[in-house]
Amino acid sequence: MLSFAVAVLALASAVIAAPTDETHAIILNNNCGTGTALWNQASSDSPQSSTTAHAAVTGGEAWLNDGNCGIHGENCAAVEFTLDNGSVTIADISLAGSHANYTHPISFKFSQPCTQTLSCSSADCKDAIHDPTANGPYATCDQANAGIEITFC
C-alpha cells in the first residue's frame, strides 16, 4: 500500500511541476522604411520587438511607432491580440478609441495551420474595428501554440 501511495504522490508531483509547453511566436515586420514595429501587453509598460512568449499573451497590442505613438500604441493603428492555449487566440485591427489614427498599412496572419488574416490599407478599411463598442471584425485560431505575424506596409 505504501508503494502505491508513493507512486501516486510522485505522479501528482510530476503533473504539478510540469512546465507549460505553451509558446507563441510574435513576429513583427516593418516594410515601411521608417519607424519601429513594437508590441506590448496591456499589463506592461515595456514595449518590445519580435519575440517568442513562453506563456499566454493577453491584451497584446502591436503598432508601428513613428514617434507619435504612446507606450501602448495610442494615436496609432494597432493589431490587438490574445494568444492563449487555454482560452482563445483572437486578433483584430483597431482603428477605434485610442488607436483611431490610421498611420500605415497593417495586416496580420496566424501561424499554420490557421489561415485567417486581416489587412487594412486605408483609414476606412473594412477589416478594421472603427467603433470601440463593436464586436469585430476579428480572426480566431483554435490551434495550440499559435503565433502571429504582423506586417506594416
Phi, psi of 132 (to 5 degrees): -65, -15
* DSSP notation for 88-120: -EEEEEE-SGGG-S--S-EEEEEPTT---EEEE
Decide if 69 is inside a domain: yes
Decide if 61 is inside a domain: yes
Phi, psi of 3 (to 5 degrees): -65, -35
Provide the pLDDT for residue 9.
31
Decide if 16 is inside a domain: no
Nearest Cα neighbor of 63 from 38, 34, 97, 28 is 38
The helix/strand/coil state of 29 is: strand
* Across 44-55, average pLDDT: 88
Q: In angstroms, rounded to a whole number, what is the distance separating the alpha carbons of residues 33 and 28?
A: 14
Q: Per-residue pLDDT tens for 55-98?
A: 999 999 999 999 999 888 999 999 999 999 988 899 999 999 99
Decide if 36 is inside a domain: yes
Provide the pLDDT for residue 21.
86
CATH for 61: 2.60.110.10
- Could you list the residue range(s) of the whole structural domain that residue 112 is in? 21-152
Decide if 33 is inside a domain: yes
* Across 98-123, average pLDDT: 94
Q: In the structure, what pLDDT confidence band is assigned to residue 44 with cuts at 50, 70 and 90? A: confident
Instruction: Find cell 482563445 and name the residue.
Output: 88
- On the question of pLDDT at 142 being above 60, the answer is yes
Provide the pLDDT for residue 6.
30
Domains: count for the chain:
1
Decide if 72 is inside a domain: yes
Decide if 3 is inside a domain: no
Decide if 6 is inside a domain: no
Provide the pLDDT for residue 117.
95
Provide the pLDDT for residue 91.
97
Q: Per-residue pLDDT tens for 13-43?
A: 333 334 468 999 999 999 999 999 999 987 7
Q: In angstroms, rounded to a whole number, what is the distance separating the alpha carbons of residues 61 and 58?
A: 9
